[in-house]
Chains A and B, each alone.
Chain A
Amino acid sequence: MSRANYTRMPGRFRGFFRGHSLWMGEDHLLLVDSTRVSEMYQRFYLRDIQTIIVRKTPRFRIPYYWTVLAVFLLIVSVVSTRPFRPALFWPSFLLLAAVVVYLYLASMFQSCTCHLITRVTKAELPSLFRLRAAQNFVDALSPRLIATQGQLAADWIERSATLEENVTAADRNPDSPVELLPAAEFSWLNILVFALVAVDAGLTVYQLRTGDAGSLSTLAMLNLIALVVSASFAIVRLTRQKASLALRAFVLGGLLVVGAVMYASSMLQSIDQQLYHQTFRNVLQYSGMKQLAWFEVGADMVIAIPGLILALRLKEDGR
């Protein structure tokens, strides 16, 4: 027999060179790790599966088709700049921005790791890297597990607590830490993020004062890139720490403010160019741009000052 009956389970990852998928057999779960020319199989029998752990965490796993789409849109955007063809440039540019934002948000806030535990093994299920797929997988697998292993009794927690073999490590050693996530601790990375937000406000004020947006545009762009990179790392760090929700919200807020202002400024330029056929070398001359810039300054300060206070308070707390 060269082929068994398998049905596909939710969750699949297809990279350029590697792919992962999960399949349900008659009595086991099959994890397929495939390259383009071969497949490796790992089986988990339903009677052996003890636990499935889904842990929400940022993960930057991008399937190849998203990368292909993003590169295609980037090429179209670049090609349509010379000569400038608005009908081609703006749809591709906005679609590219939407794809990038979606991938960023999905990676940061809708991603997870999934582990399958048996009595003797702990295996990661690499095909499950998005929360929705992991939830669908658990929903699909649970009835099969119950059919094989039977329903857990209503008081299984109380009963398992009395069994020596099921006592947790924390019960055996009361001095060991019970919390899975470490406490939030001071990091210069958080300070850097809020400092960059404040720098963004400062650069914008300078541009408004001089009336020339081009004077510091390179510096502003470098500041923006540094902010995106450092804020991404900071959010990942803070997600893996306990009780740092407020700080994480401020970091995310800084990122969103800068992103939203960039998007809004490109929209304002687009409106002037397409409706009124006006093109200015100085970006501040577009209608509504100065108001937007002042809004950015205010929003930046609203984010940066409390954020800095929160981040520095962690240092004072000695955490």
Chain B
Amino acid sequence: MQAAAGDATCFYHSSKRAKAPCSQCGRFLCALCTVEFSGAVWCPECFEAGRTRKKVVNLENQRTLHDSIALALATWPALVIYPSLLAAPGAMFYSIYYWNRPTSIVRRHPKARLVLAIVLSMVQIGLWIALAIFVIYQIKKGTFNRVPR
């Protein structure tokens, strides 16, 4: 609808009468520019920003599950033992690095897998350190130098 003299006008169309303000930025919007979503009025710019910057959960259509990746890194290599020497610290680093990244929309305990990955990584790193200390101790003790009878 065309704006009359004294009417509030749309931020994007100065000749159109404003219908509602954007619930995010407060800009006045005409009927053409209003996007009604999740019980609120959005301007096209805020709507696009919410989608691309993933600020509105109901606009997201994909997420990477960093917590599942960290947990996989902490478990699968451990099954074949030796790769865990590198994978366990990697899983620990990955878990801490992505700690604040959002995980699955539907998961009830979003940090549970990250915590589990960190705990498992710490156990594996602890075991490797214990093994290293044991080997060094045995070398110093001279166990490996003895000739078996």
Contacts and interface: CB of A to CB of B under 8 A. Distances in A.
B60 A3 contact: no
Contacts of A37: 64-65, 68-69, 72
Contact of B104 (A25, A39, A43): A39
Contact of A39 (B38, B65, B69, B72): B65
Contact of B110 (A3, A36, A43): A3
B77 to A, nearest CB: 15
A156 interface: no
Interface in A1-40: 1-4, 6, 8, 21, 23, 25, 27-28, 30, 32, 34, 36-40
B54 to A, nearest CB: 8
Nearest to B61: A41
A219 B57 CA distance: 61
A215 interface: no
Given A39-B62, A39-B63, A41-B61, A30 B105 contact: yes
Q: How large is the interface on B (under 10, 10 to 19, 20 to 34, 35 or more residues)?
A: 20 to 34
Interface of A: 1-4, 6, 8, 21, 23, 25, 27-28, 30, 32, 34, 36-43
B107 interface: yes
11 contacts: A1-B55, A1-B56, A3-B105, A4-B57, A6-B105, A25-B58, A32-B106, A37-B69, A37-B72, A41-B60, A42-B61
Interface in B87-129: 102-107, 110
A3 B107 contact: yes
A69 B69 CA distance: 25
A36 B68 contact: yes
A38 B105 contact: no
Given A3-B57, A4-B58, A41-B60, A30 B65 contact: no
A284 B56 CA distance: 72
A248 to B, nearest CB: 40
A146 to B, nearest CB: 20
Contacts of B68: 36-37
Nearest to B64: A38
Contacts of B72: 36-37
